[in-house]
C-alpha cells in the first residue's frame, strides 16, 4: 500500500487548495492526499470522496512521483497555484505589456524563466509548475507563437518616414484616372509541398514520403492599389532582364495608362538596364518606380498575397509540378486581394 509523507509547506498548500479551489477535482485530490498522509485507508478515502479506489491510488501514485504538480493534471483551464492575489496579477499584467528589458531583464520577449525571476523578485512567490506561469502570460494578453523574423538592420523610424513620403507621392496618382498604382514583388514555388502539420498515430515514427525534385517557378506579381486586382507573370529567373521583360508584358494590360510601381530595392529592380528601359522611347517609358524602405518586406501588400496563397497550397503534394503551377495561377492571377499599402 502506498505511503506518502508531505512537508509542512505542501500541507499548507494542499489545505489552501482544498478550501479555496473553485475546481472540484483539485479539492478532491488535495483532500485525498492529506487524508492518506494521516494514515487513512484508500478504501475509506474513496468512500468519503465518492470515487473509486483505483482513482485514489492513481492520485496518490501521481503525487508521489510529481508532488504538487500532480494536483493540476488535466486541468488546463485553471491557474494552478493561486499564490498571487488579484491585485498582484493585475500588476503583472501591466508589466507583461512592456518588454522585459525595461525591468533589467535583457530579453526582447517574455519567457517562463524571465517571468519566474520577476515574480520571485517582486512578490517572493514561486509556482510549482511552468503551466502556472503560462497562465500568467496568457492573463497578460500574450500568446505562445513563433515570432516574426526581425532584421537587426531594420530601422522603424526610417521606415515610418519613408512610408509617409511614399503616401504623399502616390496620392496624386491614386486620384488621377490616367494613372494606375501597383505594388509588386517576386515569389517562388516548388513541387514539394510544405507540410506544416499532420495527424500522426501516437507512438509511431513520423515519416513523410515526398517527391524531391529541382522543379521550381519564379513569379512576378502586380497588385493594383485601386481595384485590388492581382496580375501574375512567370519569370525564368529573378534577375533584371526577366523582371524588365515581365514588366513590359504587364503594362500592355493598361495601354493608355501611366503606371506607378512600388517595390523593394532589390538588385533585380535597379541598374543600368532598368534605367535604359525607363527612358523615353523604351519599353517602360510609361512606368514610374518607387522604392520601399529597406529591410521592411511586411509593408509591401503583395507579401500578404504570397503568404495567403502559399498557406492554401501547403500540406498538399501534387503529382506533377504543372499541377502546382496551375493551382498557384488559379489562386492568384486576376483575383481580388484587398491589401493596400
The per-residue pLDDT for 30 is 92
| Residues 313, 170 share a domain | yes
The per-residue pLDDT for 75 is 47
Q: What percent of the chain has pLDDT over 70?
A: 77
Return the higher-pLDDT residue of 235 and 201. Answer: 235
- Let me know if residue 263 belongs to a domain: yes
| Residues 96, 15 share a domain | no
| Confidence label for 209 from pLDDT (cuts 50, 70 and 90) | low
- Residue that is last in its domain, among 41, 72, 103: 72
Q: How far, in Å, are 189, 319, 331 from residue 311 at the CA level?
A: 12, 19, 11
Q: Pick from 69, 73, 72, 8: which is nearest to 34 by CA?
A: 8
| Residues 174, 323 share a domain | yes
Dihedral sign from CA coordinates of 179, 180, 185, 186? negative
| Residues 106, 43 share a domain | no
Buried b / exposed e over 38-69, threshold 16 CB at 10 Å, is eeeebeebbeebebeeebbbebbebbeeebbb
- Let me know if residue 270 belongs to a domain: yes
| Residues 52, 91 share a domain | no
- Let me know if residue 148 belongs to a domain: no
Domain extent at residue 24? 8-72
Give the pTM. Answer: 0.55
| Residues 127, 231 share a domain | no
Residue pLDDT, tens place only, 247-295: 999 999 999 999 999 999 999 999 999 999 999 999 999 999 999 999 8
Query: Average per-residue pLDDT in the chain?
Result: 83
- Let me know if residue 201 belongs to a domain: no
Half-sphere exposure of 4 (CA within 13 A, CB side): 29
| Residues 132, 173 share a domain | no
DSSP 22-86: S-HHHHHHHHHHHHHHTT--HHHHHHHHTS-HHHHHHHHHHHHHHGGGGGGTT-TTS-S---S-H
The per-residue pLDDT for 81 is 46
Alpha helices in the chain (DSSP H): 8-20, 24-37, 42-49, 53-66, 86-96, 112-123, 130-139, 156-175, 240-251, 272-278, 301-313, 321-332
- Residue that is last in its domain, among 114, 139, 164: 139
Q: How many domains does the chain have?
A: 3
| Residues 120, 229 share a domain | no
Residues 6+ apart with CB under 8 A from 174: 181, 225, 226
- Let me know if residue 340 belongs to a domain: no
- Let me know if residue 337 belongs to a domain: no
Q: How far, in Å, are 25, 49, 66, 71, 78 from residue 30 at the CA level?
A: 9, 11, 14, 7, 15
Alpha helices in 252-282 (DSSP H): 272-278
Return the higher-pLDDT residue of 72 and 176. Answer: 176
Q: Pick from 231, 242, 235, 253: which is nearest to 277 by CA?
A: 242
Q: Which of 74-78, 124-128, 197-201 has the weakest average pLDDT? A: 74-78
| Residues 129, 231 share a domain | no
Amino acid at each position: 500500500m502506498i505511503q506518502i509523507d508531505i512537508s509542512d509547506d505542501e500541507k499548507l498548500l494542499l489545505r489552501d487548495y482544498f478550501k479555496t479551489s473553485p475546481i472540484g477535482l483539485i479539492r478532491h485530490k488535495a483532500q485525498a492526499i492529506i487524508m492518506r498522509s494521516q494514515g487513512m485507508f484508500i478504501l475509506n478515502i474513496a468512500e468519503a470522496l465518492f470515487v473509486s479506489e483505483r482513482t485514489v491510488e492513481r492520485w496518490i501514485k501521481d503525487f508521489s512521483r510529481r508532488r504538487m504538480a500532480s494536483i493540476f493534471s488535466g486541468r488546463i483551464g485553471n491557474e494552478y497555484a493561486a499564490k498571487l492575489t488579484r491585485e498582484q496579477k493585475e500588476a503583472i499584467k501591466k508589466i507583461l505589456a512592456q518588454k522585459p528589458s525595461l525591468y533589467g531583464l535583457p530579453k526582447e520577449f517574455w519567457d517562463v524563466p524571465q517571468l519566474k525571476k520577476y515574480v520571485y523578485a517582486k512578490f517572493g512567490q514561486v509556482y510549482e509548475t511552468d503551466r502556472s506561469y503560462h497562465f500568467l502570460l496568457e492573463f497578460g494578453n500574450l500568446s505562445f507563437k513563433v515570432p516574426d523574423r526581425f532584421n537587426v538592420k531594420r530601422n522603424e523610424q526610417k521606415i515610418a518616414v519613408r512610408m509617409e513620403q511614399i503616401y504623399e507621392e502616390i496620392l496624386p496618382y491614386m486620384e488621377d484616372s490616367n494613372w494606375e498604382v501597383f505594388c509588386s514583388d517576386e515569389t517562388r514555388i516548388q513541387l514539394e509541398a510544405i507540410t506544416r502539420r499532420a495527424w500522426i498515430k501516437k507512438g509511431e515514427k513520423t515519416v513523410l514520403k515526398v517527391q524531391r525534385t529541382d522543379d521550381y517557378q519564379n513569379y512576378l506579381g502586380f497588385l493594383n492599389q485601386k481595384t485590388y486586382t492581382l496580375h501574375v507573370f512567370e519569370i525564368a529567373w529573378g534577375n533584371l532582364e526577366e523582371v524588365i521583360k515581365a514588366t513590359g508584358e504587364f503594362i500592355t494590360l493598361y495601354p493608355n495608362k501611366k503606371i506607378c510601381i512600388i517595390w523593394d530595392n532589390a538588385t533585380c529592380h535597379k541598374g543600368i538596364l532598368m534605367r535604359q528601359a525607363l527612358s523615353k522611347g523604351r519599353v517602360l517609358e510609361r512606368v514610374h518606380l518607387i522604392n520601399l524602405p529597406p529591410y521592411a518586406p511586411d509593408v509591401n501588400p503583395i507579401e500578404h498575397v504570397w503568404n495567403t496563397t502559399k498557406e492554401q497550397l501547403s500540406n498538399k503534394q501534387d503529382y506533377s509540378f504543372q499541377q502546382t503551377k496551375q493551382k498557384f495561377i488559379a489562386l492568384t492571377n486576376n483575383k481580388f486581394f484587398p491589401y493596400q499599402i
